[in-house]
Structure 1
Amino acid sequence: MKKQLLITALALTSSLTINVAHAARDYINVVGSSTVYPFSTVVAERFGKSTQFKTPKVESTGSGGGLKLFCQGVGIQFPDITNASRRIKASEVQLCADNGVTEVVEVLIGYDGVVLGNSSNADQMVLSTKDLFLALAKEVPNPDGSKTLVENPYQNWSDVNSALPNRKIEVLGPPPTSGTRDAFAELALESGCKKIDWIAAMSSDSKAAAKAGDQKLSKDLKNQYKATCHTIREDGAYVEAGENDNLIVQKLNANENALGIFGFSFLDQNSDKIQGTKINGFEPTFETIADGSYPISRPLYFYVKKAHVGVIPGIPEFLAEFTSNKAFGEEGYLTEKGMIPLGEEMRAKVKTDVKTLKNLSL
């Protein structure tokens, strides 16, 4: 009887080992930013064709959504890599740590511009960041001139600025989980918000309060400033169009009065259908984003779960491909896709950090 139980136990153990082996993933799982998605996809395809490893699976979930999935834990049921069109937040690092994801490698791959654009069949728009804030913020300064905020009353572009067309404000953009939306709020709306002196003073007053030891007042002013400058209106002027930038391009072709918000690479790849909006006098081009004159540009990243290296096959080799000169170099194939490359010194640093799997440090 004991011998039979032992045989049964050994059989179950053997079966369990086989099942676990079959359950292990043999491909890299990548999630995250819709902006980084096309770059990550082309690297994955080339990697799958040129190595013995399987082509990585790449999903577009948005930067926030990808980081949330990535930080859920360690194990084959969780993503290995997440793309992001903004840097990881301290709260997301904490979420990772709370779930046992304590070692993360940050990889800066290049730059991108957040572009506003419309159909090539319509007139090109010329806007300032102040115009954008007044058109799209949830609350704006009272038109009566008092230092108070009111629900955004502006319906047409000409209401915001008499030099703009007498046309309905209609902007198609990404949802709150998108890094593109985060970047747009921080780089475009806040920049316009700062043009209004008494709102900009909230930020400096917050710093002054902190220096004086009044942490509560400092925090209240900081929160009020951020809520005013970053919160997008919800009355229909801004339309959440999902994480699929290609869908926004299609909708712009169908509606010549609308503007869309997307990454520069999508403008670059669809220049026969859509045109970029001038912001603060600058066209969104490869050159203006590279030299910093175009005001709405941001870095692009991906994050790697160090605990999965050596467990999921091919991760170091995939990182080497992504950070090779032929991929993210000045004349690399990602540049051809519309990514703005890093400078030579920064690329060298990124390569070293990737090779050594340097841990993220905020």
Structure 2
Amino acid sequence: MKLTHITVSALALIAASATVASARDQIRVTGSSTVFPYSQAVAEEFANQTGSPAPIVESVGTGGGFQAFCGGIGEGHPDLTGASRAIKKSEYDLCATNGVTDISEALIGNDGLAMSISRANTYDWDMTLGEMYTALAAQVPVDGEWKDNPYKNWNEINPAFPDVAITVYGPPPTSGTRDAWVEIAMHKGCEQLEFVKAGGFDGDWVEENCSRMRTDGPFIEAGENDNLIVQQLNANSNAMGIFGYSYLYENLDQLKGVKFGGIEPDFDTIAAYDYEVARPLYFYVKNAHRGVIPNLQEFIEEYMSDAALQTGGYLAERGMTPLPEAQRKEYQTSVLGAVNMEAPTE
């Protein structure tokens, strides 16, 4: 399906921008470092199939991507942004403030947040989310009180763990991977602690007190480039890293996943959400740019194609867990038809 028109109001917004949008002949994609390799794969396939210029794909994190995407209409602003979480109300409102009022939301698949370690490390790592939280959180229970985290070595978390320093590389606060790790892994881990269960603390308490990663050394913010984390793990066999499953999948010859509750991240455990740290992956389309930026609609068609998204598709080959067929077709219909998403409530 091709859309060759946009609304009068969208045209007015484009005309009001510094340069007419059609002056740009390359599609611009920004956003999540986790979605980046998938967008890059689609960009390469699109260029190979059509002979058109390959879209420019950049990795700035989910939050940074929404900031750029929601900055306005016109050639100075991206056409799509990838996200490792759903758009927030505050981001949607920023889009509306800047005239980005017609957005299609594409759920493209699922991903596991993997804590990984070098295969040179021979210990069979298996921990609870509560143990992970105790190693990485800014504040934890210490002798019956909620205090700043004093633990430096893994055997202080569990005597069965090796006596090595806790060294974990992970994403910065601007990353959707960081948001998802906190909301899924850290909060679940905090809720597993006896201190929290015995205290009867509710979700609001957990969100307020269990959302901060420690900043005293054991947890290291490694930026938005997950390939750099892979390099750090290869350099230090005792270090661990947090990133999307695709990076573990692409480096299985060098890395292995840390199990949580006896379950390791793989296609099946992520798809079934048996692996406790699984999440959905998205991209968002600026519909006012369809029919103005050359080949944008065709690129969207490639991104939403069965060849890309179905089981056995080329994105699954890169580590993404595909959606069930009915759900995939629902999003294909809405995104290809430029259906405007509903406003988020939070």
Q: State if a TM-score over 0.5 links the two structures.
A: yes
Which runs of no fewer than 5 residues in structure 2 stay unpaired? Answer: 1-17
Q: Deviations over 1:206-251 (max 9, x none)?
A: xxxxxxxxxxxxxxxx2x4313221100001100111111111111
Distance verdict in 2 for CA 1:75–1:20, change over 3 Å: closer
Q: Find the counterpart in structure 2 of residue 154 from structure 1.
A: 151
Distance 2:130 2:19 in 1: 57
Is residue 163 of structure 1 aligned with residue 160 of structure 2?
yes
Distance 1:237 1:22 in 2: 46
Is residue 263 of structure 1 aligned with residue 262 of structure 2?
no
SS at 2:339 equivalent = coil
Which runs of no fewer than 5 residues in structure 1 stay unpaired? Answer: 1-18, 205-221
Shift, 1:199, TM fit: 3.4
Q: Find the counterpart in structure 2 of residue 112 from structure 1.
A: 111
Alignment of 1:110-259 (within 5 A): 110-123=109-122, 124-142=124-142, 144-145=143-144, 148-196=145-193, 199=196, 201-203=200-202, 222=204, 224-259=205-240
Q: Deviations over 1:168-200 (max 9, x none)?
A: 111011111111111111111111111135636
Say whether the 8 Å CA contact 1:137–1:228 is kept in structure 2: no
Shift, 1:132, TM fit: 0.9
- TM-score, normalised by the number of residues in structure 2: 0.90
Distance 1:22 1:140 in 2: 51
Shift, 1:21, TM fit: 6.5
Q: Find the counterpart in structure 1 of residue 273 from structure 2.
A: 292
Say whether the 8 Å CA contact 1:84–1:179 is kept in structure 2: yes
Say whether the 8 Å CA contact 2:117–2:241 is kept in structure 1: yes
Structure whose residues are more often helix by fraction? 1
SS at 2:201 equivalent = helix
Distance verdict in 2 for CA 1:22–1:316, change over 3 Å: closer
Say whether the 8 Å CA contact 2:79–2:285 is kept in structure 1: yes
Q: Find the counterpart in structure 2 of residue 216 from structure 1.
A: none
Say whether the 8 Å CA contact 2:21–2:74 is kept in structure 1: no
Q: Deviations over 1:116-148 (max 9, x none)?
A: 111111023211100111111101123x22xx4
Distance 2:108 2:46 in 1: 16
Say whether the 8 Å CA contact 1:108–1:300 is kept in structure 2: yes
Distance 2:152 2:288 in 1: 51
Q: Find the counterpart in structure 2 of residue 76 from structure 1.
A: 75
SS at 1:79 equivalent = coil
SS at 2:30 equivalent = strand
Q: Deviations over 1:25-74 (max 9, x none)?
A: 11110001111111100100111121253211000111111111111111
Shift, 1:202, TM fit: 3.3
Amino acid at match of 1:195: Q
Moved more, 60-69 or 118-127: 118-127
Q: Deviations over 1:101-129 (max 9, x none)?
A: 11111101001110011111102321110
Distance verdict in 2 for CA 1:268–1:64, change over 3 Å: same
| Aligned counterpart for 1:303 among listed residues 284, 295, 302 | 284
Higher relative contact order (CA 8 A, sep 6+): 2
- What is the total number of aligned residue pairs between the two structures? 324
Q: Deviations over 1:332-361 (max 9, x none)?
A: 111111110000000110111112211111
- TM-score, normalised by the number of residues in structure 1: 0.86
Q: Find the counterpart in structure 2 of residue 320 from structure 1.
A: 301
Is residue 330 of structure 1 aligned with residue 311 of structure 2?
yes
Distance 1:65 1:86 in 2: 13
Amino acid at match of 1:259: M
Say whether the 8 Å CA contact 2:140–2:146 is kept in structure 1: yes
Distance 1:297 1:21 in 2: 41
Distance verdict in 2 for CA 1:290–1:21, change over 3 Å: closer
Q: Find the counterpart in structure 1 of residue 46 from structure 2.
A: 47
Q: Find the counterpart in structure 2 of residue 57 from structure 1.
A: 56
Distance 1:242 1:20 in 2: 32
Amino acid at match of 1:189: M
Distance 2:21 2:79 in 1: 18
Say whether the 8 Å CA contact 1:53–1:313 is kept in structure 2: no
Distance verdict in 2 for CA 1:312–1:268, change over 3 Å: same
Say whether the 8 Å CA contact 2:134–2:140 is kept in structure 1: yes
